[in-house]
Structure 1
Amino acid sequence: MLWTLLKAQPEIALFASLAIGFFIGSFKLGPIQLGGVCGTLIVALILGQSGARISPDLKNIAFALFIFALGFTGGPQFFANVGRGWRYGILSLVEVVVVVALVLLSVRLLRLDPGTAAGLLAGGATESAVIGTASEAIGRLGLPAAEIARLQANIVTAYSVSYLFGLVTIVLFSSQFAPLILRVNLRDEAERVWRKLGGDGALSEGQTLAAPPLAGRELKVTAGAGQSIGDLEKRFGNNISVQRVLRDRSVIKAQPSVILKANDRVMVGGRREAIVEALPAIGEEVFGGGVSDVYVEKVDVMLTARALHGLTLAQARARAAPGEGRGVFVAAVTRLDSTIPALPGTQLHRGDVLTLVGNKEDVARGASKLGYIIRATQKTDFVYLGLGVIAGIAIGRFSARVGGIDITLGTGGGCLLAGLLFGWIRSRYPLIGSLPSAAAQILKDFGLCTFIAAVGLSAGADALRLIREFGVALPLAGIVITLGPALASLFIGRMLLKLEVPMLLGAIAGQQCSTPAISALVGVTGNATPVIGYTITYAISNVLLPLLGPLVVGLASKLG
């Protein structure tokens, strides 16, 4: 009865796959969590035994929206990191070269068909988007419809098997085995790097600081009498700012030229450690309005200033004219939806979102020098979105013949490149192309999982056949394809590129596009230093790996 209902109304099978799949994917076993995509695929493979099928048009539309949104959100970071983040970018190239070589070796040894080879690539590299680009490539091989359906089914089956083992492998390797190989205590290394960047203590994921990194104090001037506000702020590296002066019940505007007098009451804001250091040089603390009077404005700013790319926060503040940077503090740095430490030694990249705090006038001045303020909005520019997807479909129609192999980007590859371009344009001209982060996340999550559910339902009948045919070979191949690039990057990153261990391991998690791996790393290190390396390789690999789908299909069709 249930099977008949699902076949008659496949939309029920679709949403059941999403609901049950995300429920299964939410459970964690130690650091391992399947996630909604893999959970949806497993449920769809089971429900696919009913014969429920989703329209190919819906599947293609869902994937186009997902891949465009993926490129759109990553565009500013991708272009920022391709040139100047070259040390980490090399690791993404290592991932591409090694994973393709291992997949092709598996094709020769196991005599794999193009679909199974592409599924191994997607699962071993833990990159779900490869399923879509490879499925499109198989559809263009000119084979009978039944054979195309079989090969496309093999993609998702090989992916589901190899992904499970690849996920466990990269999580355990990056957080447990790699530190043993390097003979380092990962937590101690992360704390050392944290302090090197200017932090004054470790911060674990999910924890909050006992005291905020930015603070405000009201002081009665004693030792600071006779000093100008500008000299006092400069003495402490402009990491403090006098925001208000109360003298004889009159409020004086806190200009750098103002000379402090004994018994003035001043409100001082800035980095907590700098304020603690400055207290004896200014006066005695008194109870007053507190931090809320100092930080009345808080805005998110997209960093577009080319001159600041690659500089640390400390260097950016040092280069700013005294009047430009005064009273403006960076409370947080967000890169690709990940929060990285806002420490003096943290490097800035174009496309970062900086959370600025201070009084309204100071923040507005600082934002104008850094980039543009991200206005809170719930509206999506559907004109821009529609034109972007159309451009992606047009780009995907171009093809090239390389070494006797026809390679066409297809809708997936075309929309990915269009998303990168349109996202970059949006970062340069913020008045057009609004796509709020929540809306973009919905497009990515719903688009990908709808596509995954559709292909899983279609592949359900062939899944058991492929597993019986190859047995343990698929899981073992998945482990090797995951482990090979990770080991190569560990050696190259440490011995040749001299990367710090926490950032290196974060970069290895990023080159695999593995969110569970970076979550496990942050838990082991006790602070967010691995995220710095993760965001760079994640931005680059998220673009390069999906583009490998057509390449592997073409090569496997020649070799297999």
Structure 2
Amino acid sequence: MWDWVATTLRSNPEIALFLTVAVGYPLGKVSFRGFSLGTVATTLVCGILVGQLDIEISHTVASMFFLLFLFAVGYGVGPQFVRGIAHDGALQALFAVVVCVLVVTTAYGVARLAGYGVGYGAGLYSGAATASAALGLSTNAIRDIGMSPQDTRAMIGALSTAFAMTYIYGTVGSIVIISQLGPRLLRIDLPAACRAYEKRLGGDRHDSGASWHHYIVRTYRLSGTSPQVGRTVAEVEASRPHARIFIDGIRRGGELIDATPTTVLEPNDVVGAAGARASLRAIFATGVEEVEDVELLDVPADGVEVVVTQRALDGKTLAELAESQIAHGVFLTEIRRGSTGVTIPILPQTVLRLGDVLTVVGRPQRIRAALGKVGQADFSTKETDIPSVFLAIAIGALIGIPMLTIGEVPLTLSMAGGVLIAGIAAGWQRSVHPTFGHVPPAALWFMSVVGLNVFIAVTGISSGPSFVAGVREVGVSLFLWGIVATTVPITLALLIGKYVFRFDDAIVLGCCAGASLSTPALGLIAERARSDVPMLGYTVPYAISNTLLTIGGMVIVLLLR
């Protein structure tokens, strides 16, 4: 039976590939007390185990899926990458650059001290930095060295061995150092720091015009003594300074009429008003009776997702936006930013950026009126602009092919690097001009997750025969060196972020989590802070580091050669 299984998988390597991902991927999601190995590590280990059957899979398969993954990475971080360099995220972007240099130089120094060659050194770098994408660029760089097929396969096997042995601590260690040890090392009272930060952003103004996420809808019948009778809708809406209340509809004589700004309210009108609870109570305190009018209360609860694409809004605060006609009659319930879609706090001084995704609630006519002034509603959730995506990948690959030789060292962007840059350009272009190049979140997730895990599975299967020999050669010392390569740059990043860049205590840990590509650490930081404020320091460093640490896969190979 076992011989039949082995023979079948050798004859049909595609089956082995699907089985590897099918088993390895769910194992990576198993968590213990909030920690998990991650799908990349478990898929690689499963691939190595399956690879003991000496199964051969074409490198072309891995390359195709890896290019899809790199495009998805670039597309996702594009808006934040460009904005971080060009706008006020420049300080956070510079911090990410410094952290990336620390990561690369530490890994290079450790590899030299330990006496590791290109394979083990590059694998140690990718695993310790949890930069899975760097593994692919290192693989491509090794293939471009020009060694014999046997030597190339052995070096890639060493690469996979080192990655598998260092990735586990790279994942868990970064989480523990940033979220648990970080506040103690930097002497930060995280909840207090976040409360103070929120206060500076206007978070203590509960009746603020920018408190868009605290709203209710009520219907009131006006009596002859109501203060609102005889006044226009615009006058009633403006009757309480700094409060955002809107009259969305009026029932008069049994019929619904439009609530235009010039509509004068009359006795026995039933008005549908939306706003903060305190504002509604203050305005409709006397001369009214609260009633239940199903039609006037019928406001969609799910909301519409709107991508900010209008340059006029880039850099505007929510308080500024609340005072404009754009926000009339709509309420903001969520802001998501960056390729990981982190939720940032809704506060008066929260600044909007191009590419932010806003979830707004209101009557359809109100939302339609605001759309053209904000961006584009994300209604197209199914169809991917396939021609634009594949053309961008092809152009990026062509750009990366040329090679420049300096001395005896060949320098090339490589197809992978070119596709990564093409993805960044496409993502940024989409955020500015959303008329083409659409990739729905679900499709982007598929390209990213499946692309990476299939590539990792192929790498593991191809490297399986040499893995055992590699472990015997380097032993436990590789794991210990990996601890050093992870711990040193993250610890230095915490200290540099606090004392050199002087980031606020509320966001410095978020900056470090982004620069270290540790999304799980960010979740624990936010949970410990009981606030979304740390998210404000995450998105720009993540976008910069996700790009630079990936390119570091080529750099480390060049350095170790």
Tell me if both proteins adopt one fold, taking TM over 0.5 as the criterion. Answer: yes
Deviation at 1:46, TM superposition (A): 1.4
Deviation at 1:215, TM superposition (A): 2.0
Instruction: Indicate the residue corresponding to 1:299 in structure 2.
Output: 304
Aligned-partner residue type, residue 137 of structure 2? T
Instruction: Indicate the residue corresponding to 1:50 in structure 2.
Output: 53
Residue 377 (structure 2) pairs with residue 382 (structure 1) = no
Instruction: Indicate the residue corresponding to 2:69 in structure 1.
Output: 66
Deviation at 1:230, TM superposition (A): 2.7
Matched-pair contact (CA < 8 Å) for 1:123–1:163: yes
Query: How far apart, in 1, do the equivalents of 2:44 and 2:353 lie?
Result: 36
Instruction: Indicate the residue corresponding to 1:219 in structure 2.
Output: 220
Aligned-partner residue type, residue 60 of structure 2? D
SS at match of 2:303: strand
Deviation at 1:102, TM superposition (A): 0.4
Deviation at 1:252, TM superposition (A): 4.5
Count of equivalent residues: 546
Matched-pair contact (CA < 8 Å) for 1:246–1:264: yes
Instruction: Indicate the residue corresponding to 1:554 in structure 2.
Output: 558
Change over 3 Å in CA distance of 1:4–1:188 after alignment to 2: farther
Deviation at 1:64, TM superposition (A): 0.8
SS at match of 1:96: helix
Matched-pair contact (CA < 8 Å) for 1:80–1:351: no
Output one character per residue of 1:129-148: Cα deviation in whole Å (capped at 9) or x when no partner.
00111110111112222221
Instruction: Indicate the residue corresponding to 1:181 in structure 2.
Output: 185
SS at match of 1:63: helix
Query: How far apart, in 1, do the equivalents of 2:315 and 2:300 lie?
Result: 27
Query: How far apart, in 2, do the equivalents of 1:191 and 1:325 lie?
Result: 27
Instruction: Indicate the residue corresponding to 1:7 in structure 2.
Output: 10
Query: How far apart, in 2, do the equivalents of 1:17 and 1:200 lie?
Result: 52
Taking the TM superposition and a 5 Å limit, the aligned residue runs for 1:90-489 are 90-194=94-198, 196-197=200-201, 213-221=214-222, 222-225=226-229, 227-234=231-238, 235-237=240-242, 239-247=244-252, 249=254, 251-260=256-265, 264-271=269-276, 274-275=279-280, 278=283, 280=285, 285-289=290-294, 292-295=297-300, 298-318=303-323, 320=324, 322=325, 324-335=326-337, 336=339, 337-401=341-405, 405-489=409-493
Instruction: Indicate the residue corresponding to 1:207 in structure 2.
Output: none
Change over 3 Å in CA distance of 1:534–1:297 after alignment to 2: closer
Query: How far apart, in 1, do the equivalents of 2:348 and 2:71 lie?
Result: 35
Q: TM-score, normalised by structure 1?
A: 0.90
Output one character per residue of 1:177-214: Cα deviation in whole Å (capped at 9) or x when no partner.
1111122333343444445545589xxxxxxxxx9733
Output one character per residue of 1:112-166: Cα deviation in whole Å (capped at 9) or x when no partner.
2112222122112111000111110111112222221122122222111111011
Single out whichever of 464-473 and 161-170 deviates more from structure 2.
464-473
Single out whichever of 129-138 and 394-403 deviates more from structure 2.
394-403
Matched-pair contact (CA < 8 Å) for 1:94–1:485: no
Aligned-partner residue type, residue 345 of structure 2? P
Aligned-partner residue type, residue 314 of structure 1? A
Matched-pair contact (CA < 8 Å) for 1:220–1:285: yes
SS at match of 1:50: coil
Deviation at 1:41, TM superposition (A): 0.6
Matched-pair contact (CA < 8 Å) for 2:128–2:170: yes
SS at match of 2:217: strand
Change over 3 Å in CA distance of 1:288–1:133 after alignment to 2: same
Deviation at 1:553, TM superposition (A): 0.5
Instruction: Indicate the residue corresponding to 2:208 in structure 1.
Output: none
Instruction: Indicate the residue corresponding to 2:83 in structure 1.
Output: 80
RMSD across aligned C-alpha pairs, in angstroms? 2.8
Output one character per residue of 1:209-239: Cα deviation in whole Å (capped at 9) or x when no partner.
xx97332122345354565433443434352
Single out whichever of 296-305 and 106-115 deviates more from structure 2.
296-305
Aligned-partner residue type, residue 214 of structure 1? Y
Change over 3 Å in CA distance of 1:156–1:312 after alignment to 2: farther
Residue 37 (structure 2) pairs with residue 34 (structure 1) = yes
SS at match of 1:330: strand
Change over 3 Å in CA distance of 1:477–1:194 after alignment to 2: farther
Query: How far apart, in 2, do the equivalents of 1:517 and 1:555 lie?
Result: 30
Query: How far apart, in 1, do the equivalents of 2:296 and 2:486 lie?
Result: 48
| Structure 1 residue ranges without an equivalent (≥5) | 202-210
Query: How far apart, in 1, do the equivalents of 2:267 and 2:55 lie?
Result: 81
Instruction: Indicate the residue corresponding to 2:516 in structure 1.
Output: 512
Query: How far apart, in 2, do the equivalents of 1:56 and 1:501 lie?
Result: 47
Instruction: Indicate the residue corresponding to 2:209 in structure 1.
Output: none
SS at match of 1:501: coil
Single out whichever of 484-493 and 37-46 deviates more from structure 2.
484-493
Aligned-partner residue type, residue 218 of structure 2? R
Deviation at 1:3, TM superposition (A): 3.5
SS at match of 1:15: helix
Instruction: Indicate the residue corresponding to 1:205 in structure 2.
Output: none
Query: How far apart, in 2, do the equivalents of 1:293 and 1:487 lie?
Result: 53
Change over 3 Å in CA distance of 1:30–1:220 after alignment to 2: same
Single out whichever of 102-111 and 451-460 deviates more from structure 2.
102-111
Deviation at 1:451, TM superposition (A): 0.4
Change over 3 Å in CA distance of 1:54–1:343 after alignment to 2: farther
Aligned-partner residue type, residue 155 of structure 1? L
Deviation at 1:291, TM superposition (A): 8.1
Output one character per residue of 1:354-378: Cα deviation in whole Å (capped at 9) or x when no partner.
1222222221121101112222342
Output one character per residue of 1:11-53: Cα deviation in whole Å (capped at 9) or x when no partner.
2221221111112111112121122111101111111111112
Change over 3 Å in CA distance of 1:260–1:408 after alignment to 2: same
Matched-pair contact (CA < 8 Å) for 2:335–2:357: yes
Output one character per residue of 1:304-336: Cα deviation in whole Å (capped at 9) or x when no partner.
122322332222333x3x3x3311222221222
Single out whichever of 173-182 and 303-312 deviates more from structure 2.
303-312
